[in-house]
Copies of this chain bind each other. A is one copy, B any other.
Amino acid sequence: MNGAEALLRTLCAAGVDSCFSNPGTSEMHFVAAMDRVAGMRGIPVLAEGVATGAADGYGRMARKPAATLLHCGPGLANGIANLHNARRARSPVLNLIGDLSHTHRPADPPLASDIESLARVVSSWTRVARDVHAVAGDGAAAVAAAMGAGKGIASLVLPSDVCWTEGAQPAVPQVAAPASAVPSSAIARAVEWTALGAQTVLLLGGEALYGEGLAFAGAIARRTGARLMAESAIARIERGRGRPAVARVPYAPAAAIEAMASVGKLLLVGARRPVFSFAGPDGRSRPERTDLEVAVLAHAEEDIPDALARLAAALGCAPSPPHAVSVERVPPATGAVTPASFVQSLAALLPEAAIVVDESVSFGRDLFPHMGGAAPHDWLQLTGGAIGSGMPMATGAAVACPGRRVVNLQADGSALYTVQSLWTQAREGLDVTTVILSNRRYAILFDEMRRVGAAASRTASDLLSLERPEIDWLRMARAFGVEAERADTMAAFNAAFGRSLRARGPRLIELVL
């Protein structure tokens, strides 16, 4: 068999079963091999940022990599922004990047570029397949790298001769490097610190925010009075009724400073020490008190659930699994659209096991704290600050979790980077409800402008407006094959949201702010 088929068989055997594809000539042998090999779902996308963002969303939910199929350096480049987000989220992703054949490259044809340099900026593992005998093993190594401790982005460059040459054999899947256990000293210190109660915060990241990890964290907090928090940008958290309450360090510096003011000891559990997205002219980079003490219970690459289990055992407490609780049910809001009324309706109407993909930016800044009483759900956020992540991420999460409704809270400015996602949602019949939070401008930048001390600017008002002309979101959605409606009151939103949940496949609601 040829190299493409051997690679494909290897990936399937290693459990990779979804491939977000935007192929070109160099990738045609890999595409053709999909005819002969069952087990890989090819999902076409109209732009590479959709492929990589979808792989990010898929990886966050499935905890294994989807493949992306990208065309040469420019194809990879178009996907880098969402790979940047995936890198910050520690999502497992496997990039397959086609390239010119080895003998053709020296002629410097139009598409030749330095793929390796581009890939290394966002990848924890990068390799150019050398020849047809190595390529299947390269694939096995790439999957293991993506699945290894702390997860990561693996980029495999595939010169086309490696794919079309005969004589390859599939490789045996490789075992990913397991996460190492944290040292006992880290557990011992955590026992001491949590004994201090509310002045100690466990800052949770990665696997501390869902499943067993979160259950142990909840038990620890209940037993000791230590508080649970998460970074501003959360890759994935399980929330809703019956789940441990985890506060988030706010995005806005002033609010973050306030939230950290009562924190004397910070125990990092797969999370990074809080940092502002941007520093202003005052030079301050972090929201913490100057006398904050910081220690690590578990690095992101270490075995986080095991560390929390051992800490819980040392404290003599059992994990707190999701449990039924009686929370006062608040009805959906009526009246005007405000952040408060919107989150009230969202919490009331969100279906069980929904996946919320939050790229709500300025309008959504205060939604998160009010979703604790909603039905149990997952919440995924923009992690790397590269906007244009929400719609692709929702697409990938829906591929990973059929049967679960994905609700994409989507700022309009950000949506426009990767709006092509809607077509893939329509094509694959994905159960995604996109709520466009339509304020017709890059609203966050007006805040940021003030904060960094740039004067209120009429040029900025002009350059950051989406009003001239206004985007017609209903036509946009329908152009890509997605049904859409507009809501400008909460009553209209409630009805439209309900209809979207009863429908099969994607829907878009333009919520006029």
**Contact between chains at A80 and B77 (CB < 8 Å):** yes
Q: Which of A302-310, A473-481, A485-493 contacts B (4 or more CB under 8 A)?
A: A473-481
Given A471-B480, A478-B472, does the pair A164, B28 have CB atoms closer than 8 Å?
A: no
Contact among B111, B275, B472 for A277, CB-based, below 8 A: B111
Q: Which of A293-301, A352-360, A454-462 contacts B (4 or more CB under 8 A)?
A: A454-462
**Contact between chains at B35 and A426 (CB < 8 Å):** no
Number of copies: 2
| Neighbouring B residues of A103 by C-beta, 8 Å | 279, 283, 285
Please give the distance in Å from A471's CB to the nearest CB on chain B: 6
Q: Is A113 an interface residue (CB 8 A)?
A: yes
In the complex, residue of chain B having the shortest beta-carbon distance to the beta carbon of A458 = B35
Contact among B28, B108, B233, B469 for A423, CB-based, below 8 A: B469
Q: Is A494 an interface residue (CB 8 A)?
A: no
Contact residues, A448-466 vs B (CB, 8 A): 448-449, 452-455, 457-460, 462-465
What 0/1 pattern do residues 21 to 40 of A give for CB contact below 8 A with B?
10111101101101100000
In the complex, residue of chain B having the shortest beta-carbon distance to the beta carbon of A29 = B454
| Neighbouring B residues of A84 by C-beta, 8 Å | 73-74, 77, 113
What 0/1 pattern do residues 2 to 28 of A give for CB contact below 8 A with B?
000000000000000000010111101
| Neighbouring B residues of A479 by C-beta, 8 Å | 471-473, 475-476, 479
| Neighbouring B residues of A372 by C-beta, 8 Å | none
**Which has the most chain B C-beta neighbours within 10 Å: A23, A77, A120, A481?**
A77
Q: Which of A55-63, A171-179, A336-344, A383-391 contacts B (4 or more CB under 8 A)?
A: A383-391
Q: Which of A44-52, A238-246, A326-334 contacts B (4 or more CB under 8 A)?
A: A44-52
What 0/1 pattern do residues 364 to 392 of A give for CB contact below 8 A with B?
00000000000000000001111010000
**Contact between chains at A120 and B121 (CB < 8 Å):** no
Contact among B44, B78, B457 for A35, CB-based, below 8 A: B457
**Contact between chains at B101 and A386 (CB < 8 Å):** no
Q: A101-B279, A109-B278 are in contact. List 5 more A-B contacts (CB 8 A).
A: A103-B285, A104-B279, A110-B385, A164-B453, A471-B480
The contact sample of 19 A-B pairs, CB cut-off 8 A, is A25-B448, A28-B460, A31-B454, A32-B455, A34-B459, A74-B385, A78-B78, A88-B110, A104-B283, A107-B285, A109-B276, A164-B454, A165-B281, A416-B420, A469-B481, A470-B481, A471-B481, A473-B479, A476-B476
